[in-house]
Amino acid sequence: MIPTERMAAVDANAAALGVPRKQLMESSGNAVAREVRAVAGPGAEVALLCGRGNNGGDAFVAARFLSAYDVTVSLLGRPESIRSDIARENWDALGAAEVPTETVADSAALSLGEPDVIVDAMLGTGVTGALREPERTAARLANESDATVVAVDVPSGVDADTGEPTGGETDAAPRVEADRVVTFHDEKPGLGALDAAVTVADIGIPPAAERYTGPGDLLALGRDPESHKGENGEVLVVGGGPYTGAPSLSARAALRAGADLVRVACPETVAREVQGYSADLIVRGLPGDRFVPAHVDRVSELAAGNDVVVLGPGLGDDEGAREFVREFLAGYEGRAVVDADALRAVPDVDTDAELICTPHRGELVGMGGETASDPDERAGLVRSFADEIGHTLLVKGAVDVVSDGDAVRLNRTGDPGMTVGGTGDVLAGAVGALAAALDPFRAAAVGAYVNGRAGDAAASESGNGLVATDLPDRLPEAMRDE
Ligand SMILES: NC(=O)C1=CN([C@@H]2O[C@H](COP(=O)(O)OP(=O)(O)OC[C@H]3O[C@@H](n4cnc5c(N)ncnc54)[C@H](O)[C@@H]3O)[C@@H](O)[C@H]2O)[C@H](O)CC1
Ligand SMILES: [K+]
């Protein structure tokens, strides 16, 4: 089962893996033709109703595979209005293949005749709102016809995620009532509820497009261009004590990963140094040179005004800091990224917080988790441990494993040069900023992907001389969709 949004991401990941969308369209069209052959023998009359999007494009391809049939391709709209290059190229290819085509500008010109099969390729997952004309009339005619109606991907006017009409239940707008649906790659959540036989066609999307993060995962980042300061996330980094570099790196990474405001709560002994690292940070010094339980109230107060807390960078592993972490988490109900020395406390604390834990394999074992050398086995172990602790895990390694206890995603961006100290602090900060906008699983997966990409870019310049401070300023480029 794959929701529409995830399907778009997987599709883009497939393209990055060398299987471009036009190739997928070829496989989709081939699958549609196969379905037509299953319902009618050679010579049968087939009317293909095609929209201007890629759903229509699938049917242009299908028509080429149906040379043994009496095929008519009807394009609803003008050829100039075909929306994508790949659909247009397949439209143009019909002429050379001598497939009869017609264009239907308005509903008055629509007449279906008496075909044996109608292929509904008007609208797929790109539909918005109720069917407009001429699709609306075409849907009504298809529903009234005696032909077997084969829908491409999803019946036109049906929401693939819910199975509901796109115009809403109360709207009188018709949707296509298909007899059969050929959907691509995986079952769609809304199709089960329909009174139609659903075939899932494998269109050659490599399993790696789903298993690993890729540029498609960045589609989740679509930002509202109208947003104001603060709307894209406020992050509080809680760390420092024995180390000053770690909280600074996390904070800088959070800013570069898109947070609008980043505050750092740290012992006053290191506050000046953290502030010196970047004038863009708001630094709150706490009494003393280490975190202690007496800081919990103040930090909780600060945390309440932020979307996400990044807890742990540079904290150190003394008993006072450990107790601080336990007490803070016990009373915190928001979202937090937990890293480094704060990780050990997580399995023992009863908290209502929503946590994203970012251990490397050693820290995972320190938390009570297990690891394995076989990647599949390791992924399974991470998933069950995430389920056990009730939080999202991002286990760092040559291949990172992300799981919320249910879904699992692997990330293979990143360079061996990133084993240098501090890159984990950058990752925690980036995930913190992302978690202000995305759910924990996606924030962790996208964070791992972009942090690794920033590392790859830095390594291409510096090789094993890469240092963690090379990374934060490379995040914006790494977050750009290719
Ligand atoms: N995901 C994949 O891997 C593949 C999907 N394929 C097929 O592509 C469609 C989705 O294509 P897309 O171009 O995004 O959208 P549509 O074809 O559904 O058309 C959108 C287009 O239609 C117009 N429109 C939108 N709403 C309405 C409306 N209510 N009434 C009339 N017209 C409307 C508008 O112009 C939109 O831009 C997917 O379903 C698959 O069939 C690939 O071919 C293979 C890979
Ligand atoms: K359709």
* Nearest atom of ligand 1 to the alpha carbon of 125: 39
Nearest CA among 428, 429, 396 for reference residue 414: 396
pLDDT in tens, 423-477: 999 999 999 999 999 999 999 999 999 999 999 999 999 998 999 999 999 999 9
Tell me, what's the pLDDT at 5? Answer: 94
Same domain, 113 and 160: yes
CATH assignment at residue 381 = 3.40.1190.20
Tell me, what's the pLDDT at 264? Answer: 98
Same domain, 132 and 168: yes
Q: Is 156 annotated as a binding residue?
A: yes
Same domain, 14 and 142: yes
Nearest CA among 32, 38, 44, 72 for reference residue 181: 32
Judged by average pLDDT, the poorest of 16-30, 164-178, 194-208, 325-339 is 164-178
Cα–Cα distance list, 482 to 215, 336, 445 (Å): 7, 29, 17
Domain boundary among the residues 190, 211, 232 is at 211
How is residue 105 written in tokens?
Answer: 């500008």
How is residue 447 written in tokens?
Answer: 């964070």
Q: Is 90 annotated as a binding residue?
A: no
Q: What percent of the chain has pLDDT over 90?
A: 89
Rounded to the nearest angstrom, the distance between the alpha carbon of 165 and the centre of ligand 2 is 13
Tell me, what's the pLDDT at 154? Answer: 98
How is residue 387 written in tokens?
Answer: 């389920």
Tell me, what's the pLDDT at 117? Answer: 98
Same domain, 78 and 185: yes
Q: Residue 399: CA atoms inside 13 Å, Cβ hemisphere, count?
A: 17
Strand segments (E) across 314-365: 335-338, 354-357
Tell me, what's the pLDDT at 320? Answer: 95
End-to-end Cα spacing for the chain: 27
Q: What percent of the chain has pLDDT over 70?
A: 97
Please give the Cα distance from 283 to 17 (Å, whole number).
43
Same domain, 198 and 102: yes
3-state secondary structure of 249: helix
* Protein residue closest via CA to atom 27 of ligand 1: 127
* Protein residue closest via CA to atom 43 of ligand 1: 25
Pocket test for ligand 1, best of 55, 64, 82 (most atoms within 8 A of CB): 55
Rounded to the nearest angstrom, the distance between the alpha carbon of 232 and the centre of ligand 1 is 30
Containing 443, the helix (H) or strand (E) segment is: helix 440-462
Q: Residue 229: CA atoms inside 13 Å, Cβ hemisphere, count?
A: 2
Same domain, 287 and 429: yes
For CA atoms 225, 53, 87, 182, the dihedral sign is: positive
Same domain, 343 and 400: yes
Inform me whether the pLDDT recorded for 169 exceeds 90.
no
CATH assignment at residue 8 = 3.40.50.10260
Please give the Cα distance from 27 to 205 (Å, whole number).
10
Q: At what angle do helices 21-39 and 54-64 cross, to 10 degrees?
A: 60
Ligand (nearest to CA of 149): 2
Domain boundary among the residues 191, 211, 231 is at 211
CA angle at 14 for the pair 8 and 20, rounded to the nearest 5°: 95
Judged by average pLDDT, the poorest of 43-52, 160-169, 340-349, 365-374 is 160-169
Please give the Cα distance from 411 to 260 (Å, whole number).
26
Judged by average pLDDT, the poorest of 56-60, 141-145, 373-377 is 373-377
Same domain, 236 and 200: no
Q: Is 314 annotated as a binding residue?
A: yes
Q: Is 126 annotated as a binding residue?
A: yes
Predicted ipTM of the assembly: 0.98
Same domain, 341 and 228: yes
Same domain, 283 and 168: no
pLDDT in tens, 202-234: 999 999 999 999 999 999 888 555 666 667 899
How do the residues of the chain divide into helix, strand and coil, expressed in percent and rounded to 5? 45, 15, 40
Containing 272, the helix (H) or strand (E) segment is: helix 268-277
Long-range contacts of 401-409 (CB under 8 A, 24+ apart): 402/441, 402/444, 402/445, 402/448, 403/379, 403/441, 404/440, 404/441, 407/441, 408/379, 408/380, 408/382, 408/383, 409/211, 409/212, 409/213, 409/441, 409/445
Rounded to the nearest angstrom, the distance between the alpha carbon of 13 and the centre of ligand 2 is 23
Rounded to the nearest angstrom, the distance between the alpha carbon of 428 and the centre of ligand 2 is 43
The pLDDT mean for the chain works out to 95
At residue 110 the predicted structure's pLDDT band, cuts being 50, 70 and 90, is confident
3-state secondary structure of 184: strand
* Nearest atom of ligand 1 to the alpha carbon of 56: 17
Q: How many domains does the chain have?
A: 2
As beta bridge partners, residue 121 has 50
Q: Residue 391: CA atoms inside 13 Å, Cβ hemisphere, count?
A: 29
pLDDT in tens, 256-274: 999 999 999 999 999 999 9
CA angle at 347 for the pair 344 and 349, rounded to the nearest 5°: 100
Same domain, 232 and 174: no
Question: For residue 202, with 0-12 CB atoms within 10 Å meaning exposed, 13-18 middle and 19 or more buried, which class applies?
Answer: exposed
Give the residue numbers spanning the domain of 451.
218-478
More confident residue, 397 or 169: 397
* Nearest atom of ligand 1 to the alpha carbon of 122: 17
The mean per-residue pLDDT over the stretch 153-179 comes to: 89
At residue 482 the predicted structure's pLDDT band, cuts being 50, 70 and 90, is low
Could you tell me how many residues make up the chain? 482
Domain boundary among the residues 211, 234, 253 is at 211
* Protein residue closest via CA to atom 11 of ligand 1: 54
Q: Are 66 and 100 in contact (CB under 8 A)?
A: no
* Nearest atom of ligand 1 to the alpha carbon of 27: 44
At residue 170 the predicted structure's pLDDT band, cuts being 50, 70 and 90, is low
Please give the Cα distance from 322 to 312 (Å, whole number).
10
Same domain, 290 and 187: no
For residue 257, which amino acid is it?
A: A
